[in-house]
Structure 1
């Protein structure tokens, strides 16, 4: 594992007792809510909000993240909420490794980083981990939030950039959604803003075209 990447995220989580809101990402709730619960994989799960929501919704969930600190918080919250038998967490640098097995839902919510992150290989592996009939959900920032001044010069990948990297073959996948969507959000200091999210929802129809 590249220790500089892990150190970056450990330092990030050391800034406060909780970094993220603790609420499920809205696109995940919208997409997964109507699905019959099965096996779910949450890539870059952070402090576990999405994985815990999935577990509470009946999914057997695996959350993966590079940060031991984030995963310790997620595990403690799973115990507190009584879903420790429904969700487990694993430390992993997804640029170097990927969980075994197949899943009915693979979710990557804002899997973006200012340090090395091999998104193309991760998303290729993520697509390969989706069982027939299962769903791959990828949500990216389409532009920097107004309160993130330090990344305003960052180039954000488009939906088509991501799809090209996944190599979605005709006959194997159904494109349920792929585009830029607006979302109302609140910044760390209470700022109100409308954010742009790139949302990709694909259903695997078969293992071969």
Structure 2
């Protein structure tokens, strides 16, 4: 659940664990505590089942899903983020509904299959080449028959970033689908969309940002 972009790692790049631990330890709270808008839009009418939340951060999506009756496994690489997520869930009286697990997803992955696998803004500056594609492929493998794979990512920098880094690439939905290489006899794309939303700068200046969304159902 990271709004942080991907770029090519080099020898000076910290490990994934080091990067995200430092990221979360900068402040006591990083995210708003609200579930991601596109996750809510796509899932509020979906009957609950089992769910896997990849990159759960401080837990807002997992808590929202659990509150709607989903049995959630929520994963992050940062123990600091997971500790906050557990605390946030306990405050709402639903911590027992969520199985919090720490994984560096390019190395270990939760066991089992799920009615929903969600990856919201799974971007990381510490990622190695091909890492996001490998993780999303494993995410697809974890979707149970009849289940959903929901992938949301940034499509571009916010409008107020006037000189975006040249070495950062936000994958299109076509690129994500190509990386997944899903068998069309086994999968059906329900949503493939680019969405523009309001996105204010850290200083509060108005702006917009485009995200892309893939909602794919396994037959």
Distance 1:147 1:13 in 2: 24
Match runs of 1:27-66 below 5 Å: 27-66=38-77
The CA deviation string for residues 106-126 of structure 1, in whole angstroms up to 9 with x for no partner, is 100000011125111111110
Q: Per-residue deviation at 1:133?
A: 1.1
Q: Please say if 1:186 is aligned against 2:200.
A: yes
Q: Note the aligned Cα RMSD (angstroms).
A: 1.7
| SS of 2:95 mapped into structure 1 | coil
Distance 2:191 2:136 in 1: 16
Match runs of 1:1-209 below 5 Å: 4-117=15-128, 118-146=131-159, 151-153=164-166, 154-205=168-219
**Structure 2, unaligned runs of 5 or more:** 1-12
TM-score normalized by the length of structure 1: 0.92
| CA separation of 1:188 and 1:166: change in aligned 2, threshold 3 A | same
Q: Is the 8 A contact 2:63 2:89 kept in 1?
A: yes
How many equivalent pairs are there?
Answer: 204
| CA separation of 1:178 and 1:149: change in aligned 2, threshold 3 A | same
Distance 2:171 2:147 in 1: 24
Q: Is the 8 A contact 2:52 2:72 kept in 1?
A: yes
Q: Per-residue deviation at 1:149?
A: 6.7
Higher RCO (CA-CA < 8 Å; seq separation 6+): 2
**Structure 1, unaligned runs of 5 or more:** none
Distance 1:51 1:186 in 2: 25
